[in-house]
Structure 1
Amino acid sequence: MFDKVGHINKLQAMVKKLLYILLIFGLSNSGFAQSLQLKFENKLVEHFQKHTWKDVVVTRDSLYSSPYKDKFNVSVSDNYIEFDTTHLVIKNPYFSDKHDDAEEEKDYVKNFPKSFSVIYENSLVTLFENGKFTCFKLENFERNTELENKLNTKKFKYHWIIDNQLGGLSGNSIFLWNGNKWTKFKENFPLKNQPKLFEDNQFIVYGECFGEWGGTVYFFEKSSSKTFFTESTCANSVIKTSKGYNVLAHLGHGGGSAEIKTIPYPTKLTLAKPNEIGKSVNGEALGYTDKSSAFEKKLDFYGLQIFSSFDYQDKVLYIVHLSELTFIAEIKNNEIEIVNPLFFNDLYTHDPITNKYGKYTLMNLDHYGTGLNREISVLIIEGNKITKLDWNENHSR
């Protein structure tokens, strides 16, 4: 009887000790999280204070308040998200000193990818000026030469993911990779030398941008090969929900602007004539001629830019540029809540594109002063891990 009681007492003591350790560990983690939150808040307050009028008091609840008609307020979120950020530089393996020393921009930029990178078979697949693919394994960014050797049996001008397969333009034809060889794609495809914004079973979505003269987002219906359009200046990402297609657009002209249009039924937009696509009308984007009103404006801000939208767990997050800082935020009506400062620098891009590939989100970044319209960097988001990959040299600003 004594041994049994002693054994029970020993177990109770061990349980108490374990609970005590867990409590201390929990308090330690809680204290660490609070410390991160406080550091995060202080840095943001300090940054925005430097970029505002001296007589304006900046607080965590009002880092920036819009002076424009469609007002918004920027604050620090109570729900800080701890993203694990990594910054890498990888040189184009086909890098040419001839291009690097070229005086003409159109030749210098040839060391950057020929088309926007995609994700395929857990690799970043990139096409360069010589028409060859380079593949980098996402787990460690080492070359996937086995995949490269399979793919580089043709020379390509542009590439995409089409119906979940790798597709590329070779000559005047599009080919799909079936896992063993390239086969000719016999369906209609609306793109030749521009990236795709979004694809599902019904539509291929893409856009065009004329800067201050507007932009257009196109919905190519697969079943009919008809194309429907509306204004979007300039579309950078599409998220589909039960309410329709949320098209995010931004423009850097003037003080910057951003908008989200929700399009429930794209076939109710204006139908484009084949000879209208990609053209301007009276000096403005075709999108302005859409009078269908088959959309709802979910967001319309002036004075900032929103470069990207992406799904994270049960919410949508945005990559926002304001006051020489690019950060990650949640947007709740007119409240922009910063959840993470990203790299805490002035990461800037002109016409980015964001696409989702399974568990990965890929954001392609261009920068006109560095590579004209070519991709100079990518952001790869997997869960709470964000990797920024720069081509050839460090592009942080």
Structure 2
Amino acid sequence: MKNETLNRKHDIRLSNLIDKLSVLLVSIFFPLNIFDKMLLGKRLTIDYLILGIVLVLVIFNSIVLKRNLSIGLSVILPILILLIPTSIINPIDSFKLARIIIYTFSFTLIGVNLFNIKENILLFMKLLALWGFILALLSIGLGQKAQDNRLSLFGSNPIWLSREIGITVIYLYLLYLTNKISIFQFLLFSIIPIFAMIRTLSLGPMISLFLCLIILTFIFDVRNKNFRLFYVIPIIIVVLIIMFRFLPKELLSRYIGNSESNLSRNYRMQMYVLCINLISKYPLGIGIGQFYRYSPYYFLTYPHNIILEALVEGGWLFGTYIIYTIFSSLRYFYKNIFSDYSLLYVFSIFSFSVLNSMVSGDLLSTKLIFFCLGVYCAKKYGLKIVIR
């Protein structure tokens, strides 16, 4: 009996250690995605390797250590089923389709079995914020720039870099809203991340971050009957204006509206109009990864809006389900942010990711959305399928 108790304690310690290692690896996975490709050999990328290791650890923890394993079919099955019609009647990009399935399966499995624990979510957010701060320090310190003079890091995508650093600012702002730090401390710790975001010259993440901060401030003001929205946001605006003044005029013009930025916005508007026409013409979609066939510009291979992308490529049913799942998740997180403290952080990064994905990136570039859907499945549906 005593040996069994000791073995059980040993299993629990081992299980907790594997959990923490898995959370660490998942948190590393997202910063690595600021790089287009980090090959490990001819085909395997480092981020896919990390994701595979986490899956093995989660399954090991569940089966070998006799913890329940949930596959989360409540999220996976509808996506797989609704992708069938467009995949049968249209040509598809099999690599993109495979990645959608892999991310959906992986993050649902990881979310339900790893992030159904509040402490794991909080640890994940701390690590994600830490990596974002380190990325900001390195990018400013090294001063590397992409071809268009935007701040970069070891050849990273400037937009993705800005998006990752934005999570650090959100985390720090939540510490302020929950009275863990003062507004002065928030501004002090946020100077480097915010300036790094500004220097990437990426308007989408900046606007998404600002809107996210307004939403969070409003939510806390309503609950606590405060009026921080009327003095905190103006302070942040003043700080942003001061920081923008440090930009050279040729870079500042990109935000204000030079010929390059105006052209980029015009391209996006054309893509949105094209999407609306395609959605009305092809109710079953044009095929996963096939938008480039209809785009008038060879360099615009996706609509820069995940909702339009899902509706255009996957069809009305698939796109509608994606919209329903995203907004159901946001609603669930919002309703529970004060009863489950960890969901406040998930709601914040999910809101930021969704807002940014309306003007930038494709279905696969904002992988935090897949992560948040996995947490949603864990928190709302719990363990559905048990393997012992």
TM-score range, shorter chain: under 0.3
User: TM-score if structure 1 supplies the norm length?
Assistant: 0.25
Q: Hey, which of these two has a bigger chunk of strand by percent?
A: 1
Q: Hey, which of these two has a bigger chunk of helix by percent?
A: 2
Higher relative contact order (CA 8 A, sep 6+): 2
